[in-house]
Structure 1
Amino acid sequence: MMRVAVIDDEPLARLAVTARLARRTGFCVVAEYGDGASAASALPALQPDLLFVDVDMPGKSGLELLAALPPATRPMAVLLTAYDNFAIQAFGLDVLDYLLKPVDEERFDEALERARRAFPYRRAQGGHATAAPALAPLALRTFTVRVGTRTVLVGAADVERIEADGDYATLYAGDKTYLVRERLATLAGRLDPRQFQRVHRSCIVRLDMIAELRALTNRDALLRLRDGSLLRASRTYMPALMAALAAESPPP
């Protein structure tokens, strides 16, 4: 059972998270806090496994809260944000995912799946591990697909993008496509977020395939991939996408 603390200055926002967690197995809410300062003083003794943290709070922000926690015991964290000013610096603070308010149900499940996959590794390592190393050993490295009577192994590093096809998903690897028997939402939680990000309800993209990003007026974005393909990135997925792209880019 994963012990969860929810930190948000808006009571309704906290309720939205706790109500969703109550409908999922394997999670137990052990504390709620309405401000960052209270959470920062109580969490070291409580030692939850996972935090849902609002980025923008009066006083101590969500990022300041995470930075104030002892690195050796800092829990995994999912950031909640109502704005598009993305918290890039949080990548060194055990952040598993970014959820844009109002939180989409499918995105919420993706964040929980990442937490589930990272949790056993963290426990085996005695608690703390940064988000990227914790996920890497558990991330999906190879797809097993059926091609006629053959079973073909497709390396995740060879896949450029993945598109939803009902209850299935289509892998695009160069000039080849493969159909896999998994939903896109399931794959999004299993892939390494340092390499792949979901950009739309119907599409996952390998980050190094993105050549250009152009903001649109409705806070969506248009992506141009290196092969010339154009994809629309939904605002729901933009915080995590922008943070992942910034983490991939070397500082100037």
Structure 2
Amino acid sequence: MNKLTVVLVDDEPLALRLLQSMFEEFPDIEIAACCRNGREALQAVSEYSPDLLVLDVQMPGMNGFDVVSRLQADTIPLVIFATAFDEYALKAFEVHAVDYVLKPLDSARLETALDRALQRLQLAHAGKKDIHQEEKNRLLRSIEEMSSTKGQASETRTPVINNRLAIKDRGSITMVNQQDIEWIDAAGDYMCVHVKGETHVMRSTIKDLQKQLCPDNFKRIHRSTLVNLNYIEHIKVLTKGEYFLTLTSGAKVKVSRNYRLPIKEFLEANRRVASEAS
């Protein structure tokens, strides 16, 4: 497929240059425009019709959510929010953003967000279903709801019942089986639970949630990441004792040095099994 075209938006010049330099490292990305405010972002989206909009939240005049609310129906791209503020995570996923990446940006975390966007577009190009149009429709519905509600996060922690997570999203509750959870990443007090290609947002701390998940399957591999060992497909050993995991969905997550022990033990256990089988 063709390269994924992207428009980058950040009101801080240094942050925008850093964002641009990081995106230039990805061969599947073509940067259509770099914008310093919401007005420039809307103009660039209208002119270039990008696949992806990478958007800061707090900007003078028109913030990131204002930009999303003013997009025209026929030009709505996929959206990734990149911001230093974690309190907007729930609202970001309420408008069905592809991802919500916290600053300072991490290359591995950014690559994970881009992989999600590419996977959705690849599915659409493969003809399985119009993922891009579906995202547009969901985003449009959310924009309409934003005008009448403020999407506040619930203070009640989401319980785990009989190995199932009860994830509350406004007026509905989604029951998620633990074995279907591939990985979880944190944005402040919000957890992004990745299940079968979908992202569910719940209010909890990573420590509280980890206590409720099966300890044999779910391991903490980063201060903000839990992974289900059953979904690890490939492990790349990095320098300084770190690892890079590729999961069955294609998502890539980094194992930091301080949390490498569970993956090291996982590797050793699988080597023993392979040795015994041979």
Q: Does TM, normalized by the shorter one, top 0.5?
A: yes
2:51 pairs with 1:46 = no
The answer for the alignment partner of 2:179 in structure 1 is 158
Superposed counterparts of 1:143-154, under 5 Å: none
Q: Which amino acid aligns with 2:75?
A: T
Task: Tell whether 2:133 aligns with 1:128.
Answer: yes
Deviation at 1:39, TM superposition (A): 1.2
How do 1:63-102 residues align onto structure 2 when only pairs under 5 Å count? Answer: 63-102=65-104
For residue 59 of structure 1, what is the aligned residue in structure 2? 61
- Work out whether residues 75 and 94 of structure 1, in 8 Å CA contact, stay in contact via their aligned partners in 2: no
TM-score by length of 2: 0.52
- In the alignment, does 2:234 pair up with 1:213? no
| Structure-2 change in CA distance of 1:235 and 1:15 (3 Å) | farther
Per the alignment, in what secondary structure is the counterpart of residue 48 of structure 1?
coil
CA distance in 2, matches of 1:225, 1:132: 37
- Structure 1 residues 122 and 11, CA, compared in 2 at 3 Å: closer, same or farther? farther
User: Displacement of 1:13 after TM fit?
Assistant: 1.4
Of all paired residues, the percent bearing the same amino acid is: 25
8 A Cα contact 2:7 2:32, kept in partner: yes
| TM-score (ref. length: structure 1) | 0.57
1:13 maps to a residue whose letter is A
C-alpha root-mean-square deviation of aligned residues, in Å? 3.8
Tell me the amino acid that sits aligned with residue 45 of structure 1.
Answer: E
What is the CA–CA distance in structure 1 between the aligned matches of 2:38 and 2:109, rounded to whole Å? 24
Shift in alpha-carbon separation, 1:49–1:161, aligned structure 2, 3 A: closer
Q: In the alignment, which residue of structure 2 is the partner of 1:223? A: 209
Report deviation, 1:7. Answer: 0.4
Q: Structure 1 residue 43: deviation in Å? A: 1.4
Using the TM superposition, give the Cα deviation of residue 32 of structure 1 relative to its aligned residue in structure 2, in angstroms. 0.7
Secondary structure class of the residue paired with 1:99? strand
Bigger relative contact order (CA 8 A; separation at least 6): 1
Unaligned runs of 5+ in 2: 140-176, 185-192, 227-278
Q: Is the 8 Å Cα contact of residues 23 and 29 (structure 2) preserved in structure 1?
A: yes
Q: How many Å separate the matches in 1 of 2:212 and 2:131?
A: 41
The within-5 A match list for 1:14-33 is 14-33=16-35
- Alignment-mate amino acid for residue 209 of structure 2: L
In structure 2, do the counterparts of structure 1 residues 193 and 106 end up closer, same or farther at CA, with 3 Å as the change threshold?
farther
2:26 counterpart letter in structure 1: R
Letter in 1 for 2:86: D
How far residue 126 of structure 1 moved from its aligned partner, in angstroms, is 8.9
Structure 1: state its 5+ residue gaps. 135-155, 164-187, 198-206, 215-219, 239-252
Matched residues in 2 for 1:132 and 1:106: separation? 29
The 3 A distance-change label for structure 1 pair 190 and 222 is closer
The aligned residue for residue 199 of structure 2 is 194
CA deviations 1:126-184 (Å, max 9, x no partner) are 953317989xxxxxxxxxxxxxxxxxxxxx97345669xxxxxxxxxxxxxxxxxxxxx
User: 8 Å contact 1:78–1:95 — kept in the other structure?
Assistant: yes
SS at match of 1:57: coil
